[in-house]
Structure 1
Amino acid sequence: MGGFIANGIFARQSKILGLANINGSGSFVLSERLFRKKDDLGDLPLAYLEVLREYDPVDRTNFKSPVLMLHGDSDTVIAIEGQQDYYRHLKEVEKRSNVELKIYKNVNHQFTPEMVSDLKAWLGLLPY
């Protein structure tokens, strides 16, 4: 759950200089709905939905630090739709330009050498 935790902290802390999210999600409600559908758990209880919305990065204005999202298109653990929804929120709702989503073909829930290389390159571009 590291990518979820990192996103939750990033969305609430103004002093974080950037976020690299690997195979996670910044769209908590959507991701929980996908988990529940995959596991045949039924609808999300209203009380739980309210708690998730309190922390969900797509339900708040995020701080302006750069964001890199890396995700395999074949991830069977964390559905890529949560990552894509967070990317859409940052680009379309918040009108951010310092956000990047890289999708890796035929990659499951893992951290590949190509992802490591892309992360290192992104870190090297940060002005900090």
Structure 2
Amino acid sequence: MTDTVKHVTEGRDPTPVLRQAVQSAQRKLLLGSRDLADVNEALAGLFAEMAPCYDQLAATAHASPDGAVAAVLAALRGAFGHAARGLPEPAVNCVITAATVAIRLADDVALDREYVDSGRWR
């Protein structure tokens, strides 16, 4: 890659991409069967959505290892690991965990729009 070529996501906050990708994968897994083929398909879609900004997400996780981005990525590593070992149910559980933690990636305005009473949960 030359200095003049930049990724589309460069300079932008990649956390909404991560949040959306995880929530999409979770929806797909909760609405479909939970066999290994469906899990692998959902994880492949998640990976494809995250790939353009993964380096930025990894840098964010490295800079803040106790933050939400690091926690979401750790749960996703677990999901991919379980799927690679042929264990679809634990992989689904890890995606659900990642989606739950990914709620913390939204800004306050987005949370207020999505959850009318979100203030009582903070």
Structure in which a larger fraction of residues adopt strand: 1
Give the TM-score of the pair, scaled to structure 1: 0.30
Q: Which entry has the higher C-alpha Rg, 1 or 2?
A: 2
Give the TM-score of the pair, scaled to structure 2: 0.31
